[in-house]
Structure formats: C-alpha cells, structure tokens
Amino acid sequence: MATRSSGHALAWLGHPVTVLALAVLLLNDHVLKGLWPGPVTGKLSDVAGLVVAPPLAALLLRCPAPAAIALTGTLFTLMKATAAGAEAASWLWSLLIPSRIVADPTDLIALPALGLAWLAWRRAARRPPVRLPHAVLVVPVAVFAVTATSAVPQAPSAVSVAVNGSAVVVDVGEIQARASTDGGATWHPWTENRTYAPQSSACVPGEQAHCYRIRPGLLEVEETTDGGRTWSTSWAVSSGRRHWLDRIYENSDPHGLPSDLAASRALAVQAVPGGAGAHIVVVANGPDGVAVRDASGLWRRLGFAGDDGFSARAAAPLTNPGEQIEDELWIAVLIAIAVLLLGLVADGFLGRAPVAFGVAGLLLWIGLLPLAGPPVLDWPYSLVARLAGIPLALAGGVGVLVVWAVHQNHTERAGGRSALVAVATFAGVYFPFLGWSAGLPDAYGTAVLLAVILGAAAPAWLIARRTLQKRKGPAG
C-alpha cells in the first residue's frame, strides 16, 4: 500500500503542471532573479514553489495529497506571516543549505497556487502509479529546486545618509532608500533622489564648533564642541561586539558574495525643533542598519525592519548566550573526544582490543569531521558528506563504548577518570566562548586565551598525576 501511495506521489510530481512549475522555479531562481531582482521574481518563486512542494512532501512523508497540500499551506503561512515562523524555517533550511527566510505577509498572495497543485494531483490520480525507480530521476531535481529557493540573499546595507529638506534619507544600496521626517522616530520608503556622497563628518547647523565624525572601520562616532581641538566618544560598539555582529551578518547571497562588515560608513546631522542647537545625528552602519542620536542626546541602534524602515526591535542583539558559536562548540567536542580516546589508550584499552578500538575511534573521527564547522565541499556534496558522517560517527561511538564496557575489568584503569577529564576539557574549552556570546568576556581573544588555559588544565593535571605515580611506584 505504501509503494502504491509513493507511486501516486511520483505521478503527481511528474505531472506536466508540476514539471512546468519545477522548470519555472529553476529558471527564476538561477537566472531571472539575478537579471531582474524584485518583488515579481520573488513572488514567482513562491507560486512555483507552492506547486512543487506538496507532491514532494507527499512522497517524502508518505502522506495523502490533501494532507500534503494543507501542510504546505500551513507552514508557508506561518513562515511568511510570523517572525517566529520565519526564524524556525530559516533554522530548518540551514540544516541543508545556508538560508535566511524573512517574514513577508504580502507573499501570502501566492497561496492560490495550491489550487493548481490540487488540480495536478486530481489529474495525476487518474493515471497508473509511477514505479519507485523513477524517483532517481525526479526527486533529486525537485529537492534541489526547492532548497535552492531559500539561498541566503545579500543582507541590506546602509551605505550613506544625508539631509534632504525636512527628511533624513538613508541609502541602502540596491534596496529602496528609507527616510524619516520626524527625527528618526519612524521611517518610510524614499523614491526621490537617493545618491549621496558619504560624509565622514558633519557639524550642527549654525554651530560650526559642534561636530561629529565617524571612526572608519569601527562602529563609533566621536564628538567635539570646541571646533575639533578635542574629541570624545559619543557612541560606540565595542570591538568584541563588532566581532559578534560580523558573525551575525556573515551570510552569502546566491552568487556567493559576502555581506558587508558592520562599520560606520557615513553620518548626517539635522537641526530639529526644540530650542537652540537641538539636533539629531543619523549614522549609516552597513548591515547593522543605522544609529540615531535623538534631540535629548540618547543613542539607539535601529535594524532593518520588514516594512522598508528601521526599528530598535529589528536591531541584532549584541549578546545571545549560546548563539553564533557553533564552530567553537564542535571544536570543544572534537578536543574532548581526542582527550577521551588518548586517555583510554593510556588506560590500556587499545592493548586489549587494538583492531576494534582503533577502527571504532577512526570511524568516530571520520564521521564527526564533516559535521563539525562549515562544509569544505560545495552543496550538494557537503550535504552528502554530512549525511554519511552521521552513521559513521554513531557506529564509531557505539564501538568505542562496547570496547570500553567489555574490557574495563581487564585493564589497569577502568577509564572513568579519563571520561571525567574529557568532560572537564570540553567545559574548559567551550564555556569561555559561551561567556563571550553573553558578553563576558567582551573580547574574543580573551575567550580564546581562557579556552586554551582552562581546556589544557584537566589533561595537564592527569598527565602530571600519572607521571608522579610512575615515579613513586618503584620506590614504594
């Protein structure tokens, strides 16, 4: 029965309507979006994807067509209408390919395309089921097309800012400019002139001795009130938090171009009502959006909001414990496993089962390497390597545990102390980076130094202890 259901799903996936949508999806994402980026090609991907996704879901999940269509519509609505849904979808897609999905309720206009998918299913259901070997030809193309639609777009970047009459206009490169006419409190799209030469410094209108300037390459603004004789920091993001932000914005667009680094590019000063010398300052900070000093002197970071504006809520957090340190987590895991394996070798397990222990340890390492850190191979080969690494790592880990359990009563030491040292090593390496993600320590270099010292402490203690025991052994 399951085979017959899969055959009907394959017939649905191979129906001319689905195949046409599949072709449109591939052509649009790999050609048209590069030539004519904008809402038309973006909505076209949504329409084609909603036709292709239901039969693919029915095949992979072995569920009836109505359930696959309902599931596709529900998930699409959640990820387009809610920020939480978009964040969850981005995380799930990133397991296959680096992705960033942005909530955009206007994309829900593509939902009627599910009716086209329903029509294709009704017509495909009248045909004989397609044999499963045909999946070798159909399914990989469909999976590639659907996952390719979620490739991370280039992040918006505030490159310049200028005063235009009563408006402060921020140039966002290829994306529509944004302007504010109320001192940076609210923002809206700007369709007039948007090409402005970036200014690295500007003075308060009517007060030439009161000026501001940016620090190139940094997220920092300096202020002078004596015509430039002395300067003081008016607003800044520390070096450690800039490193953190660079990790957040370290995404690539579909063409593989890296996003800009978070750094102050330009600023503008505008006089506002509120008394003599009342003014605001707006700083263009690349992918980090803008920084705004209001008339009271309070600075705020504003990130790119989905409504073509800026908001404090959309600003990337400067701390988030446990986030942006996946590489460090895997490094801590690999070092801890290396310490554990070397400790078990010193405990005599390799001598008791040289072939089994050696093969298991090798499989564990080979399986974990594709899972740790960024993929070395291009997609989809990186996905194949990671999928292959999971069973290898599981087999190696189980093998090491079996050798450990079988031979622990026949070795000089049972291996428990080596396991505790491995756990302590993991904690020593990982916790400094966990603290860095929470803002303490602020500097990444400090976290690295602490990880080296704390990570080496437990193995060094164990080595020293065993060395002393060997020296005392003959005397005793």
Of 83, 115, 148, the position where a domain reaches its end is 148
β-strands 299-304, 160-164: how paired?
A: unpaired
Mean pLDDT of the chain: 80
Is 219 a member of any domain?
Answer: yes
129 plus 84 within the same structural domain: yes
Judgement on whether residues 252 and 350 belong to the same structural domain of the protein:
no
- 15 and 106 in one domain? yes
**H-type alpha helices, 95-183:** 113-124, 135-148
- Supply the pLDDT for residue 256: 42
The per-residue pLDDT for range 34-86, each reduced to its tens digit, is: 566 666 777 888 888 888 888 888 877 788 888 888 888 888 888 887 766 77
Please tell me the pTM assigned to this model. 0.65
Residues 239-297: tens digit of each pLDDT: 899 989 888 887 534 334 455 678 999 999 999 887 778 899 999 999 899 999 999 99
Per residue in 217-237, pLDDT (tens digit) is 899 999 999 999 999 999 999
Distance CA 346, CA 336 (A): 15
Choose among 216, 308, 223: nearest CA to 265: 216
- Is 218 within a domain? yes
pLDDT of residue 5: 54
Q: Quick one: pLDDT at residue 148?
A: 54
Give the separation between CA 173 and CA 176, rounded to whole angstroms.
Answer: 8
Which of 209, 217, 214 minimizes the C-alpha distance to 234?
214
C-alpha–C-alpha distance, residues 210 and 224, integer Å? 6
Q: Decide if 320 is inside a domain.
A: no
Report residue 109's pLDDT band, with 50, 70 and 90 as the boundaries.
confident
The HSE-up count of residue 217 (CA atoms within 13 Å, CB side) is 0
Flag whether 445 is in a domain: yes
276 and 207 part of one domain: yes
Ramachandran region, residue 346 (left: φ > 0; alpha: ψ -120 to 50; beta: rest): alpha
Q: What angle do CA 404, 406, 407 make, to 5 degrees?
A: 70
Q: Is 176 within a domain?
A: yes
Place of tokens 């996936």: 13
Q: Are 125 and 203 within one domain?
A: no
Q: How many CB atoms lie within 10 A of CB 356?
A: 17
Distance (Å, whole) CA 28 – CA 205: 49
Q: Does the pLDDT at position 403 exceed 80?
A: yes
- E strand or H helix that includes residue 293: strand 290-293
Q: What is the domain extent for residue 455?
A: 326-475
Question: Do 288 and 259 share a structural domain?
Answer: yes
pLDDT band (50, 70, 90) for residue 135 = very low
Residues 49, 142: Cα–Cα separation, whole Å: 10
Domain membership flag for residue 316: no
Total domains, the chain: 3
pLDDT at site 273: 82
Last residue of a domain, one of 261, 280, 311: 311
Q: Would you state the pLDDT for residue 468?
A: 81
Q: Give the mean model confidence (pLDDT) for residues 462-466.
A: 83
Amino acid (1-letter code) at residue 40:
V
Closest C-alpha among 396, 397, 375 to residue 384: 375
Note the pLDDT of residue 253: 42
Q: Could you tell me if 332 and 468 lie in one domain?
A: yes
Looking at the fold, whether 377 and 333 belong to one and the same domain comes out as: yes
Q: Is residue 140 part of a domain?
A: yes
How confident is the model over 146-187, as pLDDT tens digits? 555 544 455 688 889 999 888 999 988 767 789 999 988 899
Asked whether residue 460 falls in the same domain as residue 332, the answer is yes
- Same domain flag for 441 and 302: no
Same domain as 168, residue 303? yes
Round to whole Å and give the CA distance between 432 and 235: 27
Tokens 């009130």 locate to: 225
**241: left (phi > 0), else alpha (psi -120 to 50), else beta?**
alpha
Residue 21 — very low, low, confident or very high, per pLDDT cuts 50/70/90?
A: confident
> Would 153 be classed as within a structural domain?
no
Q: Do 184 and 292 lie in a common domain?
A: yes
* pLDDT for the residue 2: 44
CB-based contacts of 412, cutoff 8 Å, min separation 6 = 347, 348
Task: Determine the pLDDT at residue 84.
Answer: 67
Final residue before a domain boundary, out of 117, 148, 179: 148
